[in-house]
């Protein structure tokens, strides 16, 4: 090997039994000495020979201050040593079996001992700072011990220190591959290149852009996605190596050890530009100097050279990387394959061709060698046939893998093209499809799955609520994937509840990362995850009574987070909102409503916090239950053995109207009504007929709204095609009062479960629910204007200039300046979005602010605001207006027969033949004749069950009668007509819309 620097050759025992003479500052020397690992501190050096024997050489200091190495001493150990690391005066050794052995300073026992806390723990890597040690276990856990003067143990509270290794829980979920330590700073490196530092930072040696010490591991954000594969620390500076062969340094630059042609400190990682163009494969930091090796086996050094540790000879530019000047007679020496720097000295080891093949590569060779095929082979071994002896080992492997978040977090990485190095808040670095296939293998073997489940159950409670860095959060995506596979093989909610509890405990920042990851998932994967939580929640909600505990709330919160993530996703990637919905038991909804309406401080489980999980049917049921309760309350009903009876009279909200003056009579009576009376059930009487029937109520809403929302009424403005109405921008006080009453009528229709004719755009319902209008609303109301605004947004500068447009528009027959503070402001590419937003805002907000507030006030005079807000805008529109989608085959399929009719009866066969021959408009008229509503219910034709029964009349008069309907029950009384032609004539005449109402 080559050695240079302070007492560079001293202490090594050569093959002939003699000891090499110590030299300082007189160049690089070749020593015929073979080692596999070496580490040097301020006053001690340790090395390992190829046979696994370890030796220690201590540096002695004379009274006059001169330092010289003593002779090498053999470390008595029954096991072969694999690696060594030195502090200022202590040594930590690592055996091939993963056992840690510590040798103290010259003043303590030289017999190696294993710290008690690590006796039964297998370690993969050790590192020493000046007076502290760091160990990385084979299952990815970090232990620290020694002095803690500057927080270098990372335990959170600075202490004097401890001789017993302490578990550094902050990094327990991070898949780590290396630890490093310098003077009083420590580092850990994750499998995907995340760098975490803690301890002393007075020179910026942690790379965190400041000089504040850190008591706990902190992510070095500037190194994110740089593909870091190795870290080396000096006393006050740090160097890192990337997979691309680039070197970054930071910390103290007092001696030029950062290589930036400067003696200044660097508070954040800075690329060593002088090495640009050379691919570096090895780095090593001494106390105040840095050594690097390129793939061409050339060595460069920079920093303090007071003891000749740079090997530059006569060169005197310590702040830039310069070649190490190897002896001229070294041409016959085998190639260099590793470098070491420590204290004030440097070393380069050489290898024969055979050893060279083994050790070729970068610093990361032994650290970052986790491959996917290893995981696949391990799972295949677990799921293959095994005997009792191998089963015991398999159980240990399963427990080690699935009870450790760090192990799981590195098991299914996206290694293709090194993509996992790009792990960030936007990308998890996981290959979830591979994880899914692996989990599917595991669940097929019951005994294997039982062990996996036990291990995961043990893992979940131990998950850190505030993991450092995003890599620790991968475990949650993997657990989601695991739950999805499990649910297809086993009906259980315990594991899902445990995972949900862990998710909701995460800090807001970490939750945001997971939400961002969800947002980037494919729609199919997102749907799978949503179904996991829906299925678990549905299972729990189906029990009686439903447990209103934190477990259920946690499941709902997880769905809420996923719902929020989906809302942030681009349109083409977003999954339908109905994916989150499930049908909720009516009994549960009643109990939840009772809690909501009670005076207690308890909150309902779903209704006021998680309405997005309710499907539309559940929302309608909940709204109607609440409306019925409110009606009873205002009726002041009391329960008797004969049922519910009112204490006061009248117990209905009554409208006594004349068909000939329907609109005027309605507005007059509504204006005079007591507002509390609106909460009672609505009853409509026509022309002194005091019969209480839903038929009159449905006729009332149908004809009233057809008259009100028409161009003839003059109450509204209409779009160019006269298909959609909107509020007028010019309104008198009388108009505002009428629009208040219009709002009351819309509220009464919803409150009394009636579908109405309300040809308004969706924006009406958005505004009721406090959702802002958008350009899409303009496209619906006025496609011509909407498309023009769309074009403006995509026009180039020159096109806009040639249009000579300004912020003046015409709306509802009035010229409006959208920016009155800047009259006739020209439209440009810089303000075009502002113009479009202002146009939409004026049309749907500013111009109708007063009249819409009156409409809104009237609507919520009847309906409970919180219950209305259960609905999405499109849902509220559908409930109130119905839908223009008709499944006539479904109507026929759901029809039942009574009083002599059956499916094969000749009159029934004739009826369906006549029905099929009707026009589409005639079929809609039939629906109105049967149910009182011309549009289909928003829940579909499944919710209409027609009953056809024989209308009992004398045979001589049956051909003279019309069919009749009982709309509140969807009953059709059909006479036994003598011919199909007579049936057709009587049915089509009965369907004339105004016939029954005006007679």
The answer to whether 152 touches 199, Cβ cutoff 8 Å, is: yes
Helices H / strands E in the chain, number of each: 29, 40
- Residue 251 CA to residue 263 CA, distance in Å, equals 11
The closest of 216, 214, 176 to 193, measured between CA atoms, is 176
Residue 435 CB burial class (10 angstroms; 0-12, 13-18, ≥19): buried
Give yes or no for a contact between 847 and 812, defined as CB atoms under 8 angstroms apart.
yes
Set 86, 102, 581, 968: catalytic member: 968
Q: Pairing mode, if any, of strands 725-726 and 717-718?
A: antiparallel
- CA-nearest of 690, 803, 802, 678 to 750 is 678
Say whether 853 sits in a helix, a strand or coil. helix
The enclosing H or E element of 250 equals: strand 247-251
**β-strand 896-898 against 947-950: which pairing, if any?**
parallel
Q: 877 phi and psi, to 5 degrees? A: -60, -45
Q: What per-residue string of b and e applies to 937-958 under the rule 16 or more CB within 10 Å gives b?
A: bbbebeebebbbbbbeeeeeeb
Cis link prior to 638 (omega < 30° from 0)? no
Distance CA 38, CA 61 (A): 22
Residue that has been written with the tokens 């020397």 in this structure = 29
Cβ atoms 152, 205 nearer than 8 A: no
Distance of CA 19 to the CA centre of its chain: 63
3-state helix, strand, coil in the chain (%, to 5): 40, 20, 40
d(CA 655, CA 666): 7
Contact yes or no for 755/698 (Cβ under 8 A): no
DSSP string, 919-960: -HHHHHHHHHHHHS-SSB-TT-GGG---EEEE----GGGGGG
Rounded to whole angstroms, the Cα distance separating 411 from 430 reads: 9
In the block, tokens 């300082």 appear at 24
Q: Dihedral angle at the C-alpha atoms of 672, 675, 680, 685, nearest 10 degrees?
A: 10
Q: How many residues does the chain have?
A: 999
CA angle 110, 115, 118 (to 5 degrees): 140
Q: How far is CA 337 from CA 178, 474, 885, in A?
A: 20, 36, 76
Judge whether 968 counts as a catalytic residue.
yes
Enzyme catalytic residues: 968
């Amino acid at each position: 090997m080559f050695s240079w620097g302070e007492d560079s050759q001293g202490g090594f025992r050569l093959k002939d039994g003699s000891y090499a003479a110590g030299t300082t500052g007189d160049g690089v020397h070749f020593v015929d000495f073979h080692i596999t690992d070496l580490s040097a501190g301020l006053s001690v050096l340790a090395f390992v020979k190829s046979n696994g024997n370890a030796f220690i050489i201590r540096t002695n200091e004379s009274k006059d201050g001169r330092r010289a190495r003593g002779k090498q001493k053999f470390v008595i150990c029954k096991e072969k040593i694999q690696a060594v690391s030195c502090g200022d005066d202590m040594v930590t050794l690592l055996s091939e079996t993963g056992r840690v052995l510590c040798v103290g300073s010259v003043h303590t026992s030289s017999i190696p001992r294993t710290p008690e806390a690590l006796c039964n723990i297998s370690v993969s890597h050790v590192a020493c700072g000046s007076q502290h040690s760091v160990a990385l276990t084979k299952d990815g856990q970090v232990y620290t011990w020694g002095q803690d003067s500057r927080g270098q143990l990372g335990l959170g509270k600075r202490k004097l220190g401890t001789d017993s290794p302490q578990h550094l829980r902050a990094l327990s979920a991070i898949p780590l591959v290396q630890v490093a330590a310098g003077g009083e700073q420590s580092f850990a490196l994750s499998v995907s290149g995340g760098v975490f530092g803690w301890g002393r930072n007075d020179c910026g040696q942690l790379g965190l852009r400041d000089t504040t010490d850190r008591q706990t591991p902190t992510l070095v954000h500037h190194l994110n996605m740089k593909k870091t594969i190795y870290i080396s620390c000096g006393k006050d500076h740090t160097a890192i190596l990337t997979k691309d062969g680039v070197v970054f340094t930071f910390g103290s630059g007092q001696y030029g050890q950062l290589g930036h042609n400067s003696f200044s400190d660097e508070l954040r990682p800075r690329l060593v530009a002088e090495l640009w163009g050379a691919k570096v494969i090895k780095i090593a930091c001494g106390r105040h100097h840095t050594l690097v090796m390129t793939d061409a086996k050339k060595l460069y050094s920079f920093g303090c050279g007071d003891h000749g540790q740079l090997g530059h000879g006569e060169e005197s530019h310590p702040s830039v990387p310069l070649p190490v000047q190897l002896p001229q007679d070294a041409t016959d020496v085998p190639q260099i394959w590793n470098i070491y720097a420590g204290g004030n000295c440097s070393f380069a080891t050489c290898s024969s061709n055979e050893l060279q093949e083994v050790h070729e590569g970068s610093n990361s060779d032994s650290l970052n060698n986790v491959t996917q095929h290893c995981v696949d082979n391990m799972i295949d071994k677990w799921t293959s046939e095994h005997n009792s002896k191998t089963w015991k080992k398999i159980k240990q492997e399963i427990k080690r893998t699935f009870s450790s978040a760090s192990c799981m977090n590195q098991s299914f990485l996206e290694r293709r093209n090194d993509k996992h190095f790009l792990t960030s808040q936007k990308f998890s670095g996981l290959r979830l499809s591979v994880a899914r296939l692996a989990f599917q293998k595991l669940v097929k073997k019951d005994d294997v799955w039982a062990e996996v489940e036990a291990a995961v159950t043990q893992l979940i409670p131990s998950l850190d609520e505030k993991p450092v860095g995003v890599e620790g959060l991968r475990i949650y995506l993997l657990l989601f994937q695991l739950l999805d596979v499990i649910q297809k093989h086993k009906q259980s909610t315990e594991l899902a509840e445990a995972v949900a509890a862990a998710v909701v405990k995460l800090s807001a920042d970490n939750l945001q990362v997971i939400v961002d990851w969800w947002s980037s998932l494919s729609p199919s994967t997102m749907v799978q995850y949503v179904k996991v939580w829906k299925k678990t929640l549905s299972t729990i909600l189906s029990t009686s009574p439903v447990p209103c505990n934190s477990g259920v709330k946690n499941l709902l919160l997880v769905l809420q987070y996923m719902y929020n993530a989906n809302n942030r996703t681009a349109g083409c990637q977003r999954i339908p909102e109905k994916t989150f919905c499930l049908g909720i038991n009516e009994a549960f909804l009643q109990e939840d409503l009772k809690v909501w309406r009670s005076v207690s401080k308890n909150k309902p489980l779903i209704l006021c916090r998680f309405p997005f999980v309710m499907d539309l049917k559940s929302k309608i049921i909940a709204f109607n239950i609440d409306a019925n309760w409110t009606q009873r309350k205002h009726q002041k009903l009391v329960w008797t053995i004969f049922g519910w009876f009112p204490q006061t009279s009248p117990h209905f909200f009554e409208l006594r109207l004349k068909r000939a003056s329907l609109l005027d009579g309605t507005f007059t009576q509504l204006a005079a009504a007591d507002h509390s009376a609106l909460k009672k059930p609505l009853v409509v009487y026509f022309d002194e007929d005091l019969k209480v029937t839903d038929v009159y109520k449905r006729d009332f809403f149908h004809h009233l709204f057809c008259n009100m929302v028409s161009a003839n009424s003059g109450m509204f403005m209409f779009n160019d095609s006269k298909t959609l109405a909107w509020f007028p921008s010019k309104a008198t006080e009388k108009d505002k009062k009428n629009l208040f009453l219009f709002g009351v009528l819309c509220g009464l229709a919803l409150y009394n479960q009636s579908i109405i004719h309300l040809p308004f755009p969706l924006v009406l319902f958005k505004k009721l629910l406090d959702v802002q209008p958008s350009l899409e609303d303009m496209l619906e109301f006025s496609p011509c204007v909407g498309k023009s605004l769309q074009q403006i947004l995509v026009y180039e500068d020159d096109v806009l200039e040639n249009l000579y447009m300004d912020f003046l528009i015409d709306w509802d027959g009035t010229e409006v300046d959208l920016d009155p503070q800047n009259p006739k402001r020209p439209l440009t590419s810089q303000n075009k979005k502002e113009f479009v937003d202002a146009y939409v805002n004026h049309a749907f907000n500013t111009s109708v602010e007063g009249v819409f507030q009156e409409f809104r006030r009237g609507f919520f005079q009847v309906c409970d605001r919180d219950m209305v807000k259960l609905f999405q805008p499109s849902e509220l529109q559908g409930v109130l207006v119905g839908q223009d989608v008709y499944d006539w085959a479904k109507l026929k399929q759901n029809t039942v027969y009574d009083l002599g009719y059956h499916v094969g009866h000749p009159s029934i066969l004739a009826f369906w033949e006549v029905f099929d021959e009707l026009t589409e408009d005639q079929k809609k008229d039939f629906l109105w004749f049967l149910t009182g509503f011309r549009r289909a219910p928003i829940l579909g034709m499944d919710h209409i069950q027609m009953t056809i029964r024989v209308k009992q009349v004398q045979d001589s008069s049956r051909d003279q009668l019309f069919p009749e309907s009982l709309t509140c029950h969807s009953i059709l009384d059909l006479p036994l007509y003598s011919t199909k032609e007579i049936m057709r004539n009587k049915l089509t005449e009965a369907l004339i819309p105004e016939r029954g109402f005006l007679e």
